[in-house]
Chain A
Amino acid sequence: MTPEAAATGDVRGRASIAAVATPPSARRGPWRRPLAWLLRHPTLAFGALLLIAMAAIAIAAPWLATHDPDDIDPLARLQPPTAEHRFGTDALGRDVYSRTLLGARVSLAVGVAVAAISATIGIVLGLVAGFVRPLEGVLMRTMDGLMAIPGILLAIAAMAVVRASLATVIVAITIPEVPRVVRLVRSLALTLREQLYVEAARAVGTRLPAILWRHVLPNMMAPLIVQATFVAASAVLIEAALSFLGVGVPGQTPSWGNMMAEGRNFVAVAFHIILYPGLFLATTVLAINLLGDGLRDALDPRLARQL
Chain B
Amino acid sequence: MRSTRASHASSEAGMSDAALLEVDGLRVDFPGLDGAARAVDGVSWRLEAGRTLGLVGESGCGKSVTALAILRLLAAPPARIDGAIRFRGVDLLALDERAMRRIRGDRISMIFQEPMTSLNPVLTIGRQIGETVALHQKVGSRETLERAVEMLRLVRIAEPQQHVGEYPHQLSGGMRQRVMIAMALACHPDVLVADEPTTALDVTIQAQILALLRELKDRLGMAMLLITHDLGVVAQTCDRVVVMYAGRKVEEASTLDLFDQPLHPYTRALMASMPSLNTQAKRLVEIAGLVPDPRAMPAGCSFASRCALADERCRVETPQLQALAGDHLVACFAAQEGRG
Contact = CB atoms under 8 A, between A and B. Distances in A.
A86 interface: no
Nearest to B180: A200
Interface stretch (B7-15, B111-119, B245-253, B329-337): B111-119
A11 interface: yes
A200 B175 contact: no
Interface string A1-42: 100110110011001101110100011000000000000000
A8 B208 contact: yes
A18 B171 CA distance: 11
Interface stretch (A73-81, A201-209, A232-240): A201-209
B112 A202 contact: no
Interface in B126-152: 131-132, 135-136
Contacts of B231: none
A198 to B, nearest CB: 8
Contact of A199 (B73, B109, B156): B73
Contact of B158 (A20, A197, A199, A203): A20
B103 interface: yes
B158 A16 contact: yes
A161 interface: no
B259 to A, nearest CB: 13
A204 B192 CA distance: 11
B211 A205 contact: no
A296 to B, nearest CB: 17
Contacts of B184: 203-204
B166 interface: yes
Given A203-B71, A204-B109, A204-B184, A197 B117 contact: yes
B: contact size bracket: 35 or more
A142 interface: no
A207 B98 CA distance: 9
Given A15-B174, A27-B166, A214-B123, A205 B106 contact: yes
A218 B174 CA distance: 25
Given A1-B236, A18-B172, A201 B208 contact: no
Contacts of A85: none
Contacts of A20: 158-159
Contacts of A219: 120-122
Contacts of A206: 101, 105, 131, 135
A195 B123 CA distance: 14
A205 B103 contact: yes
Contacts of A67: none
Interface string B153-183: 0001111000100100010101100001001
A207 B131 CA distance: 11
B277 to A, nearest CB: 10
Contacts of A4: 207
A200 B117 CA distance: 10
Contact of B135 (A196, A204, A218): A204
Contact of B131 (A11, A15, A201): A201
A12 B159 contact: no
B306 interface: no
Contacts of B104: 202-205
Contacts of B236: 1
Nearest to B117: A196
A12 B183 CA distance: 20
Interface string A188-200: 0000000111011
Interface string B200-231: 00001101100100000000000000000000
A20 B106 CA distance: 32
B207 A7 contact: yes
Contacts of A196: 112, 114, 117-118
B102 interface: yes
A8 B207 contact: yes
Interface string B50-85: 000000000000000000000101000000000000
Given A11-B208, A205-B101, A206-B135, A200 B158 contact: no
B225 to A, nearest CB: 13
A1 B120 contact: no
Nearest to B184: A204
Given A12-B156, A197-B118, A219-B122, A204 B183 contact: yes
Contact of A27 (B101, B112, B170): B170
Contacts of B204: 7-8, 11
A84 to B, nearest CB: 55
B105 A205 contact: yes
B282 interface: no
B2 A200 contact: no
Nearest to A16: B158
A288 B276 CA distance: 63
B170 A197 contact: no
A12 B157 contact: no
Nearest to A202: B73
17 contacts: A15-B175, A16-B158, A19-B157, A22-B170, A27-B170, A196-B114, A197-B118, A197-B121, A200-B112, A200-B180, A200-B183, A204-B104, A204-B109, A204-B132, A206-B101, A206-B131, A206-B135
Given A7-B207, A201-B131, A202-B73, 13 more contacts: A11-B204, A12-B208, A196-B114, A197-B119, A197-B121, A200-B180, A200-B183, A203-B112, A204-B135, A205-B101, A205-B102, A219-B121, A219-B122
Interface of A: 1, 4-5, 7-8, 11-12, 15-16, 18-20, 22, 26-27, 195-197, 199-207, 210, 214-215, 218-219, 221
Across the A-B interface, the 5 shortest Cβ-Cβ residue pairs: A204-B105, A205-B104, A205-B105, A16-B158, A218-B122
